[in-house]
Structures are given as structure tokens and as C-alpha cells.
């Protein structure tokens, strides 16, 4: 089932990992609520949204309670995480998955929310949406692109992902820091064309569920991966090797832009990709607008996608209506 939003729908904000204090607190993020409200949606919050502990999170019971409430509430049509973090995987064995299966919703978030994307797809067989979280909507610069691309995914079954004109690798949640815009260009490692089912997320998180019932089995996958701040090229190489061992029937690889602090150059990335012969046989594109730089698009996970890279200036990623989990 592929659900879509319409104007007037309720979006519930929950913090299954880091708390809202991690990104400035409730009041500082109200501009995000205003922006979503102005798009025609109704934003509500989990009962425990204000909780914050020594780990910039809250108790497992509080986070699970808000997760259950969001899926159980018939008025809620979409669920959006506040931000990422490090510990949403703590919730998986405590969630009543019958609630999720019986109450399908659109689920939005990125980074550590990858664990929940995996589990919702694996256990409840629902398409999820890898893209901006609630606090992302408080960013002023480049918000027009991010909002446009989020709406494209939230409202449509089929659409093309589009590149932004510029990007930054600044801490978007700190409005007092200067921005350093860079020219944006999607790039090709291996030319080609392929169709498959989208899967992936944050590469440091994606394989945490491997070997458990919370990891989605995806045949003929188009794998989307991106690395968070603090990752290294060598770490990326190690984790990519694991992904390619899991997905030995991979049809295409789509890599998000690397934060500048990670020091991943084109030369280093090519050296990493050169290690894996399969990546010479399938389309591989990189520096796309998703992950831990700004702005980002929203990509459904579990949906049919076509990747086409006929030359370095003709890269197209299309979401198709003949989706399936």
C-alpha cells in the first residue's frame, strides 16, 4: 500500500532517537511547525516530545509510547521524526508491530531513523520515506528546494528526483553559523540504466538490523546510501563491502553527498569504488541531494525506481507507480 498526503492531514512529530533539545528545543523549532501548517497540514506532537535525558534522548518506554500512539491514532496520516540520533534501534523489540501493520502511515525521517525505516518495511511491509525530519523545516536557506522535493514525494506516486542548484555542509540547525554554498552537480562513476526496488539510508546505520527480522529483504535493489558527519573514507569502504555482500543482486548504487568534514574527495571515492568489480557492471551515481548535507530530497524506500545515467550530464532517477515492497 502506497499512502499519500492531502491538504488538511495530520502529521505527528515524535522523537524515537534524539530529543528536540538536541536541535535547540521546542520553541526554537516552531518555525518548522509554522511552515508545515502553511503547506496545509496539521502538526501535532507526541506526549513525551519535551523529555530529554543525559543522552539527549528519553526512556525506551516514552519513545515506544509515542510511536504506538502515532500509529494508533486514526487522525494521523503521517509520522515524522524530530531529528536522527543514535538509539532508535533500541525500540524495535518493544514495538507492537501489529499496531503498525494495522494502521499504515507515511513515515518520514533520515539518519538514525534508518533503523525504523528498515523495521517498518521488513515487518509491516510498508513503503517509508527517507528525507527531511521535522527540525529540517526550520532551516531558512535552501528550504524552497527541500520543501518542494518533500511535497513531490508526499503527494505523488510517480515523479523524478531533481538536483538542487547549490548545497552546503554547514550545521543547518544552528542559525547563527554562516553558510558556505557550493555549486551542485550529480556525478557518474559507472554509466548505465537499471530498474529495481529502493532500499538504504544512512550507511553507518543500515546494516545494524542485518541478520534480524527487522532487516528488509529487497530483491534487485537500487541501494541509496549516505554517510553522516564524522565518518571516514575507510569506514565507508568497510560498510559498503558489507552492503554489497548482503545485496549481491544489486541493480544500481546511488550515493548521497558527503559532509565536507569527512574529507571524501572524488579521488578517494573512486579508489573505494574501484575495489568492488560489481560496481563496474551496474549504474553508480554519486553526490546526490540526500543525507547529511543541505538541501535534501525525499526518496521512498520500497518502491520501484529507475536509474538512468547515459552520460555525465544526463542522470535521471525516476519513482515509478508500479511499486512493491
Is pLDDT at 260 greater than 90 in this prediction? yes
Q: How confident is the model at residue 174 (pLDDT cuts 50, 70, 90)?
A: confident
Q: Which residues are catalytic?
A: 111, 226, 292
- Residue 78: name the closest of 173, 31, 8 by CA: 8
Find the mean pLDDT for residues 266-275.
98
pTM over 0.95: yes
Q: Rounded to whole angstroms, how far apart are CA atoms 251 and 275?
A: 17
* 300-315 pLDDT per residue, tens: 999 999 999 999 899 9
C-beta of residue 146 within 8 angstroms of C-beta of residue 32 = no
* 219-258 pLDDT per residue, tens: 999 999 999 999 999 999 999 999 999 999 999 999 999 9
Q: How confident is the model at residue 178 (pLDDT cuts 50, 70, 90)?
A: confident
- Residue 254: name the closest of 288, 305, 300, 205 by CA: 288
Q: Which domains does the chain possess? A: 10-158 (3.40.50.10740), 160-319 (3.50.30.60)
- Residue 9: name the closest of 70, 77, 74, 72 by CA: 77
Residue 257, C-alpha cell as written in the block: 553527498
Q: What are the distances in angstroms from CA 187 to CA 116, 243, 308, 310, 325?
A: 29, 21, 12, 11, 28
Amino acid at each position: 500500500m502506497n499512502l499519500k498526503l492531502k491538504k488538511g492531514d495530520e502529521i505527528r512529530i515524535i522523537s524515537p532517537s534524539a530529543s528536540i533539545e538536541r536541535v535547540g528545543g521546542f520553541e526554537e523549532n516552531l518555525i518548522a511547525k509554522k511552515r508545515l501548517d502553511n503547506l496545509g497540514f496539521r502538526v501535532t506532537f507526541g506526549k513525551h516530545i519535551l523529555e530529554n535525558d543525559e543522552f539527549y534522548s528519553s526512556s525506551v518506554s516514552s519513545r515506544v509510547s509515542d510511536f504506538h500512539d502515532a500509529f494508533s491514532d486514526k487522525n494521523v496520516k503521517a509520522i515524522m521524526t524530530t531529528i536522527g540520533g543514535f538509539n532508535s534501534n533500541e525500540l524495535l523489540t518493544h514495538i507492537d508491530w501489529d499496531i503498525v501493520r494495522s494502521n499504515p502511515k507515511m513515515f518520514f525521517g533520515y539518519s538514525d531513523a534508518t533503523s525504523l525505516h528498515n523495521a517498518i518495511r521488513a515487518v509491516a511491509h510498508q513503503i517509508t520515506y527517507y528525507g527531511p525530519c521535522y527540525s529540517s523545516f526550520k532551516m531558512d536557506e535552501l528550504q524552497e528546494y527541500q520543501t518542494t522535493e518533500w511535497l513531490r514525494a508526499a503527494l505523488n506516486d510517480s515523479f523524478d528526483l531533481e538536483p538542487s542548484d547549490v548545497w552546503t555542509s554547514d550545521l543547518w540547525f544552528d542559525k547563527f553559523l554562516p553558510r558556505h554554498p557550493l555549486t551542485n552537480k550529480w556525478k557518474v562513476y559507472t554509466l548505465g540504466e537499471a530498474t529495481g526496488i529502493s532500499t538504504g539510508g544512512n550507511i553507518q546505520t543500515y546494516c545494524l538490523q542485518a541478520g534480524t527480522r527487522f532487516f528488509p529483504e529487497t530483491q534487485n535493489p537500487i541501494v541509496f546510501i549516505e554517510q553522516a558527519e564524522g565518518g571516514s573514507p575507510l569506514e565507508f569502504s568497510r560498510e559498503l563491502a558489507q552492503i554489497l555482500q548482503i545485496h549481491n543482486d544489486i541493480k544500481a548504487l546511488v550515493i548521497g553527498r558527503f559532509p565536507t568534514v569527512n574529507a571524501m574527495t572524488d579521488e578517494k571515492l573512486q579508489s573505494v569504488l574501484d575495489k568492488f568489480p560489481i560496481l563496474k557492471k551496474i549504474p553508480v551515481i554519486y553526490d546526490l541531494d540526500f543525507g547529511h548535507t543541505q538541501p535534501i530530497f525525499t526518496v521512498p524506500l520500497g518502491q520501484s525506481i529507475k536509474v538512468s545515467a547515459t552520460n555525465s550530464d544526463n542522470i535521471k532517477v525516476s519513482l515509478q507507480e508500479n511499486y512493491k515492497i
